[in-house]
Amino acid sequence: MDFNSFDTRGAAPDLPIFDGRAEVGGPAVATASPCRRVAASSPSRGEVDAVALVISVEQASDVAAREALLDRAMGPTRKRKASEKLRRGRRPAEGLAFAAKDADGRLLGTVRLWDVTAGAGGPPALLLGPLAVDPALKGGGVGSALMRRAVAEAGRRGHGAILLVGDAGYYARFGFTAAPTAALAMPGPFERARFLALELVPGALDGAAGVLQPAGRRERASAWPAVAALAA
Ligand X SMILES: CC(C)(COP(=O)(O)OP(=O)(O)OC[C@H]1O[C@@H](n2cnc3c(N)ncnc32)[C@H](O)[C@@H]1OP(=O)(O)O)[C@@H](O)C(=O)NCCC(=O)NCCS
User: Which residues of this protein are in contact with ligand X, per CB under 6 A?
Assistant: 4, 73-74, 131-133, 138-144, 166-167, 169-170
DSSP bridge pairs for 100: 55, 109
Residue (91 or 138) nearer to ligand X, CB? 138
Shortest distance, position 138 Cβ to ligand X, whole Å? 4
Cis peptide preceding 130, ω within 30 of 0: yes
The residue (of 74 and 178) whose beta carbon lies closer to ligand X is 74
φ/ψ region of 105 (left if φ > 0, alpha if ψ in -120 to 50, else beta) reads left
Comparing CB distances to ligand X, the nearer of 89 and 169 is 169
Q: In the complex, what is the shortest distance from the CB of residue 73 to ligand X, in angstroms, rounded to a whole number?
A: 4
Could you tell me the smallest distance in angstroms from the CB atom of residue 67 to ligand X?
14
Among 218, 168, 224, 220, CA closest to 198:
168
Compute the distance between CA of residue 45 and CA of residue 161 in angstroms, rounded to an integer: 34
Nearer to ligand X, 86 or 122 (CB): 86
Query: Residue 222 is inside which H or E element, if any?
Result: none
For the bound state, the minimum distance from the C-beta of residue 35 to ligand X, rounded and expressed in Å, comes to 9
